[in-house]
Amino acid sequence: MLVVEDEVIIRLMIAEYLREFGYRVLEARNGDEAKRILGNGSDVGVVFSDVRMPGSIDGLALARWISHNKPEIGVLLTSAHVAPAEVADTAPAADSLLRKPYTPNEVLQRIRGMTGGGTA
């Protein structure tokens, strides 16, 4: 599991919450860092990413990159400002959009749904 979020407190909170439920969690502060992690062959089953982040690649572009380069990885995107239709058009890897604000439990339930209840 890879959590991609530029807001440090949010990233740390979600990553720690998922670890408490047995997920091995990697963290990235933006899409560029996430691409490096995924390109290094890290064992990641799901990417949970904010849509709007600084850097040369936002969450939508990251979802497209994953779809083309790592289609076996599920993607859960989050945003307070992006419409679900925008996410649906990005790539088949963009499985869903979780609207902000969300609770850690909502993230956990969505990821469990994507992984069949296992850890990713």
Encoded tokens for 43 = 């064992």
β-strand partners of 76: 48, 96
What is the per-residue pLDDT across 110-120, written as a single tens digit (0 to 9) for each? 999 888 877 66
- For the chain, which domains are there? 2-75+89-115 (3.40.50.2300)
Q: Could you give the strand order of the β-sheet that contains 2-4, starting from the edge strand earlier in sequence? A: 26-28, 2-4, 46-50, 74-79, 94-99
Distance CA 69, CA 72 (A): 9
Distance CA 105, CA 89 (A): 27
* pTM of the predicted protein model: 0.89
What is the per-residue pLDDT across 36-45, written as a single tens digit (0 to 9) for each? 999 998 899 9
Distance CA 28, CA 31 (A): 7
